[in-house]
Amino acid sequence: MEDKKIILSGIQPTGTFTLGNYIGAVRNWTKMQEDYNCIYMIANMHAITVRQGPAALRNHTVEAYALLLACGIDPEKSVAFIQSHNPAHAEANWVLACSTQFGELSRMTQFKAKSEKHPDDINAGLFTYPVLMAGDILLYQSDLVPVGIDQKQHLELARDVAQRFNQKYGDTFKLPEAYITEVGAKIMSLQDPTSKMSKSDDNPNACIFILEDKDTIIRKFKRAVTDSETCVRFAEGKDGINNLMSIYSVVTGKSYDDIEREFEGRGYGDFKIAVGEAVADHLAPVRESFARLMANKDYLKECYTKGAETATRIAYKTLSKMYKKVGFVPSR
């Protein structure tokens, strides 16, 4: 790979991507491909921390891979692979787990939230998930990790674990940094704009999935919860409107000032329809490209096989360094 900074990020294949995944993460990944060495991963090993049907997980994994390409990840420019195809992730996980404290994992807010959501399945994988994620990042000596705000705490943990390992065993890992954009790092639910847009929301109107058709997208935006004012402006306490403005700003490239001017004297109804239309138009090429890619599974397989080979080659350089540092005897 050329001598550029290294980017790594991942996404779980638990159904199609949401508008939050797209705006907070994947959209930025596509833009970074020119200036960085990018490595993107479908995190299927992370997905089984929550119960998944095997057939559904298999389908969702291939669909998520196709969606990555449909969103603009070019497998010729970036390394795009499926996590379980590279055994180094599971191996790094064990070694790093032995440099991670129980106490620091207990403080992870996502663990607490997911435990509350699935009280009948608080498995050890859910608890140690941030260690697996630290391995994902550290194995590639990543400089930057583009994520939404909800992953920031996991990233800080990855840095802490890397630092501790480096101190114990000598320099092994580069310390990664989160790359979080100012606008769009946390897209909110359309039904409760004080909480994150999430694919596991029980209310189907709360979340936009990026493969939904234009009518559905516009209908969901029309129903978006706002406030009792009528003026489109970005301000504290106007969570619903702020959320719609950030979405509109990202998909149209307009600033908040431009948007306030555009909708001056017009009600929320007009604004919501405009946001719905802009989002649907922005996503139309992704839908078309996804359909084309899903009709060509051989091509997808060729891409993820090649991606896994490259990812495995890079990751094993770090893994063998880790094994040597902790004192594992080489087999030959």
> Which active-site residues does the annotation give?
114, 196, 199
- Of 93 and 99, the one with the shorter C-beta distance to ligand TYM is 93
Chain contacts with ligand TYM (rule: CB under 6 A): 8-12, 20-21, 23-25, 43, 46, 133, 136-137, 145, 147-148, 150-151, 185-187, 196-197
**Count of C-beta atoms within a 10 Å radius of residue 49:** 21
Contacts of 176 (CB under 8 A, 6+ apart): 8, 137, 138, 142, 143, 144, 145, 155, 158, 159, 162
Contact 98, 278 (CB under 8 A): no
Report the distance separating Cα 256 and Cα 148, nearest Å: 20
- Of 134 and 278, the one with the shorter C-beta distance to ligand TYM is 134
DSSP 319: H
Residue 256, exposed/middle/buried by CB under 10 A (0-12, 13-18, 19+)?
A: middle
- Of 140 and 268, the one with the shorter C-beta distance to ligand TYM is 140
Contact 85, 38 (CB under 8 A): no
- Of 24 and 307, the one with the shorter C-beta distance to ligand TYM is 24
Residue 332 CB, shortest distance to ligand TYM, in Å, is: 32
Residue nearest to ligand TYM (CB): 24
Q: For residue 265, is it left (φ>0), alpha (ψ between -120 and 50) or beta? A: left
Report the distance separating Cα 175 and Cα 110, nearest Å: 22
Pairing status of strand 6-11 against strand 177-179 = unpaired
Closest CA to 18 of 27, 5, 29: 27
* Residue located via tokens 């065993």: 169
Residue 34 CB, shortest distance to ligand TYM, in Å, is: 20
Closest CA to 145 of 273, 11, 302: 11
- Of 263 and 314, the one with the shorter C-beta distance to ligand TYM is 314
Residue 178 CB, shortest distance to ligand TYM, in Å, is: 9
Residue 154 CB, shortest distance to ligand TYM, in Å, is: 6
- Of 263 and 283, the one with the shorter C-beta distance to ligand TYM is 283
Residue 148 CB, shortest distance to ligand TYM, in Å, is: 2
Report the distance separating Cα 137 and Cα 315, nearest Å: 10
What are the phi and psi torsion angles at 130 (to 5°)? -65, -20
Closest CA to 42 of 74, 69, 7: 69
**Rounded to 5 degrees, what angle do the CA atoms 183, 187, 191 make?**
140
Report the distance separating Cα 264 and Cα 309, nearest Å: 54
Residue 134 CB, shortest distance to ligand TYM, in Å, is: 8
Residue 271 CB, shortest distance to ligand TYM, in Å, is: 20
- Of 46 and 238, the one with the shorter C-beta distance to ligand TYM is 46
